[in-house]
Amino acid sequence: MKDNKIKELVETLLQAKNHDDILDLLKGLLTIGEIEEIARRLQIVKLLKAGVSQREIANRLKVGIATVTRGSREIKRGRFSKI
């Protein structure tokens, strides 16, 4: 990523020292809906890595199959190795 704004965002996140700092930052930058969507996408990744089917994840989390497929595609690209 060559965008300096994205680099600055990552650096800011890395400066957070604890749960409260990160939550405060997220609440300041994002709406509650956006935070919930990010949390839902994290759950998609965790469920995919646990072997739950894409259709089951879509039903369980009430998201579109395309959203789950996107997570699956990113896992295949090697992302989320730390999750």
Q: Which tens digit of pLDDT belongs to each residue from 30-77?
A: 999 999 999 999 999 999 999 999 999 999 999 999 999 999 999 999
Helix axes 32-49, 19-29, angle to 10 degrees: 120
| CATH 1.10.10 domain locations along the chain | 31-83
The CATH number of the domain covering residues in 31-83: 1.10.10
Please say if the pLDDT value at position 1 is more than 70.
Answer: no
Residues 6+ apart with CB under 8 A from 64: 58
Element (H, E) at 43: helix 32-49
Q: What is the pTM of this model?
A: 0.86
Q: Which of 72, 66, 25 is nearest to 45 (CA)?
A: 72
Q: Residue 30 CB: number of other CB atoms within 10 A?
A: 13
